Amino acid sequence: MSIIRKIFSNSRSPEDGIFFDAIQKILGFKPLNLNNYRKAFTHRSLNKVDDKGNPVNYERLEFLGDAMLGSVIAAHLFNEVPTGDEGYLTKMRSKIVSRDHLNELGKDLNLIKYVESKVSTQHFGENIHGNLFEALIGAIYLDRGFVYCEKFIHKKVIIPYVDIPKLEGKVISYKSLVIEWCQKEKKSFHYDVFEDNGNEGVKYFGVKLKIDNKIIARARATSKKKAEEKASQRAYFAFQEKMSSND
């Protein structure tokens, strides 16, 4: 068996060898099937298909990786916080696997460096980093199974980032907090969203957040969602004492 492995390793192309070394460094163990990892970094813009005509890109692996990540984090929280009810555990898992956090993880590993695409990486949205991180986890599961997948998540996510006391105080959505507070206090609220391009040459959206028909906060960002979240954050800090007392 060792002789066969040597033959295969010697037949690997220089390009495969570079990719193999890069992936091994990221994972901390040897990948067995490089094709799984190639797929994890293949963008749909390449329009690749397999011999059966099925699309080859990272999106299905992203789905699989999301499920693996969620299950490992859920098991960890279940074991670490025996007093936590379903609502608490769900909220804590959401904080750990939030899109912002996954994007940070993908950036830390510089995964975008390995993407094969017809689209320039400069035109990718921020979420590409988190999508690639999930796809990588999916590739690990296909290549080495659940045990290696779990080890990777513990090493890269749980050990360095999961601090339960800190996470308990972490806000993942200011908009949700504002809406919950308005509903509790029976206050009307409205997000007035409009295009606000200015002179930057980039598409921006402006938001005015009204509570009881009064403008409480304004914000602008490159997406409606980001602009609403930014306005909500400003409104939260404006009403922080009142909102905190209702937690």
* Residues contributing to the annotated binding site for Mg(2+): 62, 131, 134
Would residue 66 show up in a list of annotated catalytic residues for this protein? Answer: yes
CA distance 213 to 211: 5
Of 51, 66, 104, 116, the active-site residue reads: 66
Q: How far is CA 20 from CA 37, 38, 50, 131, 226, in A?
A: 9, 10, 21, 21, 37
Buried (b) or exposed (e) across 166-184, using 16+ Cβ within 10 A?
ebeeeeeebbebbeebbee
Catalytic residue (one of 134, 150, 228, 229)? 134
Residue 6 CB coordination number (10 Å): 10
Instruction: Tell me how far apart the alpha carbons of residues 88 and 81 are, in angstroms, rounded to a whole number.
Output: 10
Under 8 Å between Cβ of 37 and 29: no
Positions at the binding site: 62, 131, 134
* Residue 168 annotated in active site: no
**Residue 181 and residue 185: Cα distance in Å, rounded?**
6
Q: Which DSSP letter does residue 179 get?
A: H
Active-site annotation, residues: 66, 134
